C-alpha cells in the first residue's frame, strides 16, 4: 500500500495552469481506478480520495484561480468563469450525495460515474476554453501557481489530519 504512494512532486514549481492540469490528470486516474476496483471497500476508499481531492481542487480554483482569471479577462470571457463556478456547485452536490452513500447502494456506481462524466466535461471546458484565454493575458502564472500550491497543501493537510472526510461531509468547503 505505502509502496504505491508516489511522493507528490510538490517541490517542483508549476505555473497555475500546469498545476491544475496535473490535478485533473490525477483525478481522472482515480476515476479509472474506481472503475476497475473489485470490492466495495476499495471503491469507497477511492471515491473518498477522489471526492477529497476534487473538493480541495475546486476550493483552490474558487479562492485563487477564478478571481485571478476574472481580474484579467475581458467581460465577455468572464462568462466562462461564471459557468465554471455554477458547475462546481453541481460537482459539490454530487460529492455530498456520494458522501451519504455506500458501495452497497444500488445507485452508488452510477452516481460516481455521473460525477466522473460531469468532471470530465468541466475539465474539458477549463482546459480548452478558459486556460488558453488566460495564457494570452498579462498574469504571473508562476506566482499564482505558488500561492495555489501552498493553499492546496494547507487544505490537503487538513483533510489528512481529520482522516477521510466523514460520510456526508465531503462536499463541504474546508473552512479557512
Residues that bind Fe ion (CB under 5 A): 61, 126
Contact 18, 2 (CB under 8 A): no
Q: How far apart are the first and last CA of the chain?
A: 31
Instruction: State in angstroms the smallest separation of the CB of 23 from Fe ion.
Output: 7
Residue 125 CB, nearest approach to Fe ion (Å): 9
Distance (Å, whole) CA 167 – CA 99: 4
Q: Give the closest residue to 168 by CA, choosing from 76, 84, 101.
A: 101
Q: Is 7 helix (H, G, I), strand (E, B) or coil?
A: coil
CB environment 98-110: b (16+ within 10 A), e (fewer): bbebebeeeebbe
Nearer to Fe ion, 27 or 101 (CB): 27
Q: Nearer to Fe ion by C-beta: 34 or 65? A: 65
Minimum gap (Å) between residue 2 Cβ and Fe ion? 28
Q: Which is nearer to Fe ion, 49 or 126 (CB)?
A: 126
Which residue number, 15 or 126, has a Cβ lying nearer to Fe ion?
Answer: 126
Smallest gap from residue 1 Cβ to Fe ion (A): 28
Amino acid at each position: 500500500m505505502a509502496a504505491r504512494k508516489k511522493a507528490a512532486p510538490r517541490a517542483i514549481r508549476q505555473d497555475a495552469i500546469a498545476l491544475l492540469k496535473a490535478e485533473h490528470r490525477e483525478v481522472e486516474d482515480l476515476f479509472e481506478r474506481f472503475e476497475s476496483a473489485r470490492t466495495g471497500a476499495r471503491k469507497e476508499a477511492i471515491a473518498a480520495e477522489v471526492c477529497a481531492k476534487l473538493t480541495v481542487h475546486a476550493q483552490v480554483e474558487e479562492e485563487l484561480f477564478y478571481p485571478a482569471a476574472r481580474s484579467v479577462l475581458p467581460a465577455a470571457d468572464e462568462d466562462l468563469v461564471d459557468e465554471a463556478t455554477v458547475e462546481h456547485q453541481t460537482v459539490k452536490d454530487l460529492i455530498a450525495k456520494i458522501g451519504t452513500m455506500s458501495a452497497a447502494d444500488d445507485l452508488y456506481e452510477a452516481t460516481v460515474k455521473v460525477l466522473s462524466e460531469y468532471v470530465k466535461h468541466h475539465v474539458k471546458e477549463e482546459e480548452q476554453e478558459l486556460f488558453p484565454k488566460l495564457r494570452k493575458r498579462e498574469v504571473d502564472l508562476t506566482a499564482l501557481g505558488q500561492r495555489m500550491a501552498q493553499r492546496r497543501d494547507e487544505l490537503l493537510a487538513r483533510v489528512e489530519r481529520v482522516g477521510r472526510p466523514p460520510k456526508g461531509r465531503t462536499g463541504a468547503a474546508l473552512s479557512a
